[in-house]
A = this chain, B = another copy of it.
Amino acid sequence: MYLYSKNIYFPNQIKREGYLKIEEGVITGFVTNIGSESFEDYENYLIIPGFIDQHLHGWGTGSFGNDKTHHGLLEMKKHLPSVGVTSFLATSGAEPIEDLIQGIKTSCEIMETQKDDGASLLGVHLEGPFVSPKQKGMMREEFFRDPSVSLMETFVETQTVPNAIKLMTMAPELPGSKEVIKFCKANGIQINIGHSHATFEEIANLKEYGLGGVTHMFSGMRGFHHRELGVAGTALFFDDLYCEFAKQTGMTVKPEAFQIAYRLKGPDRIIMTTDNTAMAQLTQERYHYIRKQTFIPDGDWFVIRNDDGSEQRYDRTDYEQVKHLELSYIESIQNLIKNVHPSVHDVIKMTSENCAKYLNVYDRKGSIEVGKDADLLIIDEDFNIHATYCMGKKY
């Protein structure tokens, strides 16, 4: 199969007027002449690498957070390509230990059997349970635990796919964290600081053992202060720490605050995610303190009750009805572009390349290069998605 475009974004260069050759889901060449062979014509579109979302609990009709059967992840894989995501990490929160173990098992089963169906499941992101009650955000404190190497061993032993657990979010100020950080480093698990009240000193002392970044920058962390930099200030200070940003709604992080972080960290150290949850798949009523809404599951229906008493009802099994309940990955990127006007290559870094490097999958994801998976977005100049390819399959 050949894809033609005038704008194919290889690393550090734009290939003009040529054909990407794709065979068995992999990019096998870039050629400027294919004779009389047929091709998909994307002449005036841009071809960029698909987005990688390392932090999402669910999307639309699929919730890994609330459903540890295959169903949740399969729904996510099915619908994520429509919002630009071609690979992702199944992200758990602070949950009962047996649910976390089941989540790792289920993720490994999906990774073994469904590799080329929809978005690629790259592995697992454990957001907790080693997080701080002082920065719980929307997390359920009853499932928080102090860092434990034996529990980490249990998680790692549960994997039936090597290195399925790719990332963990933890609070490094908790007792026992140093041993857990070292264990993760030895087992290929990146550590993000998140839901953490750590000080600059606490982070600086542990950083060398394997702290690589921060989770949903500015949220769930001690904020920046000029006498105590906190997690936020420390993330801004150390050039090498990755700042993961949740979706850019403008609500949780003001665009100007994002811009300040962008100027300091640069496109090489920002990783865009959504932290989406598939709201409509909630199993328990919850109040969202920033949106000022109560989310109520009601059989096949999902109800949003606003603080003024008004309600909206949605069929939770209908993707078209629920897909607008949260800002999608592509919508978040469109907002990002409005705020900081990055180059297309800088967008690629923040949405794909940095994350692939951080998760150690840059050998097959994160850029358009010969030999890599054909995870591609066909977009117009305003970043509207025209088509998505996951492992060479068009969605």
Contacts and interface: CB of A to CB of B under 8 A. Distances in A.
A225 interface: yes
A252 B227 contact: yes
Interface in A208-248: 218-219, 223-229, 232-234, 236-237
A256 B227 contact: no
Interface in A253-268: 253-254, 256-257, 259-260, 263-264
A259 B238 CA distance: 11
A225 B225 CA distance: 9
A233 to B, nearest CB: 7
A233 B236 CA distance: 13
A252 B226 contact: yes
Contacts of A263: 264
Contact of A218 (B226, B236, B256, B264): B226
A299 to B, nearest CB: 36
Contact of A200 (B219, B226, B256): B256
A10 B219 CA distance: 47
Contacts of A219: 226
Given A224-B223, A224-B224, A226-B223, A236 B254 contact: no
Nearest to A217: B226
Contacts of A233: 256-257, 260
A312 to B, nearest CB: 25
A224 B233 CA distance: 10
Contacts of A232: 226
Contacts of A234: 256
A340 to B, nearest CB: 12
A245 to B, nearest CB: 10
A70 B257 CA distance: 47
A34 to B, nearest CB: 48
Interface string A108-141: 0000000000000000000000000000000000
Given A218-B226, A229-B254, A237 B260 contact: yes
B226 A257 contact: yes
A238 to B, nearest CB: 9
A222 to B, nearest CB: 12
A237 B261 CA distance: 10
24 contacts: A200-B254, A200-B256, A219-B226, A223-B223, A223-B224, A223-B225, A224-B224, A224-B257, A225-B257, A226-B252, A226-B257, A227-B253, A227-B254, A229-B254, A229-B256, A229-B257, A233-B256, A233-B257, A233-B260, A234-B256, A236-B260, A237-B259, A260-B264, A263-B264
Interface of A: 200, 218-219, 223-229, 232-234, 236-237, 252-254, 256-257, 259-260, 263-264
Across the A-B interface, the 5 shortest Cβ-Cβ residue pairs: A218-B226, A226-B257, A226-B253, A237-B256, A224-B224
